[in-house]
Amino acid sequence: MRTFYDQDVDPEILRRRRVAIVGFGAQGRAHALNLRDSGIDVRVALREDSASRAACAGAGLAVSTPEQAAEDCDVLVLLVPDETQPQVYERALAPRLKTGAALLFAHGYNIHFERLRPRPDLDVLMVAPLGIGDQVRATYAAGAGTPALLAVHQDVSGEAHALGLSYAGANGHGRAGIIDTNFRDETITDLFAEQAVLCGGLTHLISAAFETLVEAGYPQELAYFSCLHEVKLIADMIQRRGIAGMRGSISSTAEFGDYTRGPRVINDASREQMRKMLKEIEDGRFADELDADARSGFPTLAAGREAAESHAIEAVGERLRAMMPWLR
């Protein structure tokens, strides 16, 4: 996989264009502020009744409606939630985008699963930060950057890849590395990692371990610190040193338990479920389930949030985090 850095980027390609960021969530805010600070002509596109308009004004960012932005901009960056992107594109953007404009995504979901079908006269590309929005902004502001993935779906102009590099550079990614990929690989790996490790796997592992200790009679406070709080310490070491490097930094007791007991949690049965999850992502079943839940008003999300908020680990966590105000 080719990797590019700031020296490979032509910043003038983006500076010659007007950019609009549709949406002002974590990624939208980070991209808008970073591009502005890189000298890009950028505005945020929001509905007239959006509560984020005041936040944009407070940050000194120009604001327009999605319809106005589509008519005026050369590069439109679609950063509203995945489930709303097709509707926003069809109703507000597709009828108004200039011929030859560029449509840019931060995740390949709607393009790969064909929930959104761009006009054939548009450049369509993706710059996907390998980090959450707060991290993208914080690393940029600190003079560093977050790595990102770059992919091109449609190259009408002949310079979509160069435009993607220029955008990624303005967002700070050239400081850390811009990696060539494609929409399919980014989408599948991102969804699988969220489900198997980063969100689904990790949160259920933490909760199950907490419950096991508490059910056996151990104090909730000790279970919280052991099974949740210390996750960050290990995750930080793994990020800095790799798994082998982390294992070289822990006690022999912890390392022995890792090798002998870890496979009893993550074993052939776990791997078989991971393979099934991956197949469900690849063949579109997960996307179909998500669509169905969205059409019904996301009852699965509502039930999951209610269960999570009422779990004992949240109450004890809130109490213990109050002892550590620096975590806020």
Structure tokens, 282: 């690849």
The CA distance from 122 to 154, in Å, is: 7
What's the sign of the alpha-carbon dihedral 320, 324, 327, 328?
positive
Average pLDDT over the chain, rounded to whole?
Answer: 95
Strands 148-154 and 75-78: unpaired
Residue 325 clears pLDDT 90, i.e. is over it: no
Sole residue written with tokens 């699965």? 300
What are the distances in angstroms from CA 49 to CA 27, 54, 95, 108, 300? Answer: 20, 10, 22, 28, 28
* Residue 57 three-state SS: helix
pLDDT at 328 over 80: no
Question: Do residues 188 and 156 touch, judged by C-beta distance below 8 A?
Answer: no
224 token code pair = 């919280």
Cα distances (Å, whole numbers) of residue 301 to 138, 181, 205, 290: 29, 31, 19, 10
Condensed to tens digits (0 to 9), the pLDDT of residues 176-230 reads 999 999 999 999 999 999 999 999 999 999 999 999 999 999 999 999 999 999 9
The helix (H) or strand (E) run that includes residue 129 is strand 123-129
pLDDT in tens, 109-162: 999 999 999 999 999 999 999 999 999 999 999 999 999 999 999 999 999 999
Q: Which helix (H) or strand (E) holds 150?
A: strand 148-154
pLDDT tens for each residue of 38-74: 999 999 999 988 888 988 988 999 999 999 999 999 9
Count CB neighbours of 120 within 10 A. Answer: 8
Q: Choose among 299, 283, 328, 42: nearest CA to 170.
A: 42
Dihedral-angle region of residue 60 (phi above 0 means left; psi in -120 to 50 means alpha; beta otherwise): left
- Residues 3-181, CATH architecture: 3-Layer(aba) Sandwich (3.40)
Q: What is the mean pLDDT of residues 294-319?
A: 95
| pLDDT value at residue 57 | 87
With contact defined as beta carbons under 8 Å apart, do 44 and 63 qualify?
yes
Element housing 75 (H / E)? strand 75-78
pLDDT of residue 92: 95
Separation between Cα atoms, residue 269 and residue 125, nearest integer Å = 38
173 is catalytic: no
Residues of the chain with CATH 3.40.50.720: 3-181
Residue 75: name the closest of 19, 35, 128, 24 by CA: 19
pLDDT for res 158: 96
Rounded CA-CA distance 79/42 in Å is: 14
Active-site residue, from 107, 112, 153, 173:
107
Cβ contact 106:127 at 8 Å: yes
In the chain, which residues fall in CATH 1.10.1040.10? 190-327
Q: What is the pTM of this model?
A: 0.92
The answer to whether the beta carbons of residues 51 and 76 sit under 8 Å apart is no
What is the structure's pLDDT at 1?
A: 82
What is the Cα–Cα distance from 10 to 309, expressed in whole angstroms?
Answer: 47
DSSP string, 111-174: HHTTSS---TTSEEEEEEESS-HHHHHHHHHTT----EEEEEEE-SSS-HHHHHHHHHHHTTGG
Sheet holding 178-180, edge to edge: 3-4, 178-180, 148-154, 123-129, 102-105, 75-78, 18-22, 41-45, 62-64
CATH code of 190-327, in short, is 1.10.1040.10
Percent of the chain with pLDDT over 70: 100
